[in-house]
């Protein structure tokens, strides 16, 4: 396993800036160089003191990095990889944090032939974006899924694994295609549903938008948190993970139709069985430390 002394982070938004903050807190001996395509973000990252050095140029940011992490939207990974290529050390490990993996892995391998590419996805985030939105504890107790190619260097996989563990994450290794199917269910479909519900509610004719907002505590507002997520990031996720999302959506539509039928037919048992099963899933998430047990997400009343 390689000892990491210098990390370069390309993309200093929510995830990139959280990585920088977590390194400063948990790996203070590691030097961090940051780069972002946006001059405004670079300036803000400088003001916030996120990195030891901020480079205006992607290739210059990675020159002496042992580990480079691409934290840009999934649709920008290929560009970002091409931009860092001229500056990389021969033995640098390149990783990313993209929310979909098979397409990103392919794009990185194509742009960076001969380099150790170890894709990863920290399953942690919020609905906010940008460098000011990040925080050092974002990854604590959360899972980071590493999706190395079959021929990947085991040393490089071990280095990326121990890096994420050092930031407080729990690490699991998975095939990229399987990752994309799992995340289609646990993340991408819920976002699509939230985007749909919030969009639909704002366009209903019988109910005014002000009524939707006023009475949102009935359930609607919990969807609005997810539906407030970054539009560019999520546009790219759906385009990149198209097949897995469409397969999951097909299954969701079938189940929705079954519930629709149960309501129409007055099938009380079907509805109660279904809702009992879903309540158990919520309880398992709390038991496994993936959410707080506080009622109503800990809101003050």
Residues that bind ligand NAP (CB under 6 A): 10-16, 35-38, 41, 58, 71-74, 76, 79-80, 97-99, 121-122, 125, 129-130, 230, 233, 237
Helix (H) or strand (E) run with residue 122 in it: strand 120-122
Q: Any residues with CB less than 8 A from the CB of 31 and at least 6 apart, and which?
A: 5, 6, 7, 52, 53
Residue 288 CB, nearest approach to ligand NAP (Å): 19
Residue 180 CB, nearest approach to ligand NAP (Å): 12
Helix (H, G, I), strand (E, B) or coil at 10: strand
Q: Which two tokens stand for residue 115?
A: 């380099």
Tell me whether residue 9 or residue 116 sits nearer to ligand NAP (CB atom): 9
Q: DSSP state, 85?
A: G
Q: Quick one: how far is CA 166 from the chain centroid?
A: 18
Tell me whether residue 41 or residue 169 sits nearer to ligand NAP (CB atom): 41
Tell me whether residue 19 or residue 201 sits nearer to ligand NAP (CB atom): 19
- Four-point Cα dihedral 276, 278, 282, 287, nearest 10: 70
Beta bridge partners of 248: none
Residue 51 CB, nearest approach to ligand NAP (Å): 13
Tell me whether residue 138 or residue 198 sits nearer to ligand NAP (CB atom): 138
Residue 292 CB, nearest approach to ligand NAP (Å): 18
CA atoms of 18 and 168, how far apart (whole Å): 12
Residue 165 CB, nearest approach to ligand NAP (Å): 17
Q: Any residues with CB less than 8 A from the CB of 176 and at least 6 apart, and which?
A: 101, 102, 105, 119, 147, 149
Residue 39 CB, nearest approach to ligand NAP (Å): 9
Residue 75 CB, nearest approach to ligand NAP (Å): 9
Tokens 């972002």 identify what position? 36
Q: Are 100 and 241 in contact (CB under 8 A)?
A: yes
The 3 state secondary structure assigned to 88-110 is CCCCCEEEECCCCCHHHHHHHHH
Tell me whether residue 4 or residue 108 sits nearer to ligand NAP (CB atom): 108
Tell me whether residue 12 or residue 198 sits nearer to ligand NAP (CB atom): 12
Tell me whether residue 15 or residue 157 sits nearer to ligand NAP (CB atom): 15
Tokens 């042992």 identify what position? 66
């Amino acid at each position: 396993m390689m000892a990491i002394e210098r990390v370069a982070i390309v993309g200093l938004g929510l995830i990139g800036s959280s990585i920088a903050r977590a390194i400063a807190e948990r790996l203070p001996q590691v030097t961090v160089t940051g780069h972002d395509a946006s001059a405004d973000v670079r300036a803000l990252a400088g003001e916030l003191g996120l990195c030891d050095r901020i480079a205006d140029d992607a290739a210059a940011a990675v020159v002496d990095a042992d580990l480079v992490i691409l934290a840009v939207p999934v649709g920008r990974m290929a560009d970002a990889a091409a931009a860092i290529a001229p500056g990389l050390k021969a033995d640098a490990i390149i990783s990313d944090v993209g929310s979909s993996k098979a397409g990103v892995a392919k794009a990185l391998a194509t742009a960076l032939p001969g380099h150790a590419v170890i894709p990863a996805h920290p399953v942690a985030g919020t609905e906010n974006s940008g460098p000011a939105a990040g925080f050092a504890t974002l990854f604590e107790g959360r899972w980071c899924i590493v999706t190395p190619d079959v021929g990947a260097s085991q040393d490089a996989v071990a280095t990326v694994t121990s890096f994420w563990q050092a930031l407080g994450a729990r690490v699991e290794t998975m095939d990229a295609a399987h990752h994309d199917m799992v995340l289609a269910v646990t993340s991408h479909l819920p976002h699509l549903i939230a985007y749909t519900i919030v969009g639909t509610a704002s366009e209903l004719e019988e109910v005014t938008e002000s009524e939707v907002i006023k009475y949102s505590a009935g359930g609607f507002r919990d969807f609005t948190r997810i539906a407030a997520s970054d539009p560019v990031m999520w546009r790219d996720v759906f385009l990149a993970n198209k097949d897995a999302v469409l397969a999951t959506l097909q299954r969701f539509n079938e189940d929705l139709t079954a519930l629709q039928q149960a309501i129409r037919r007055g099938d009380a048992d079907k509805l109660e069985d279904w809702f009992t099963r879903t309540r158990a899933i919520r309880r398992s998430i709390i038991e496994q430390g993936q959410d707080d047990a506080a009622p109503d997400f800990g809101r003050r009343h």
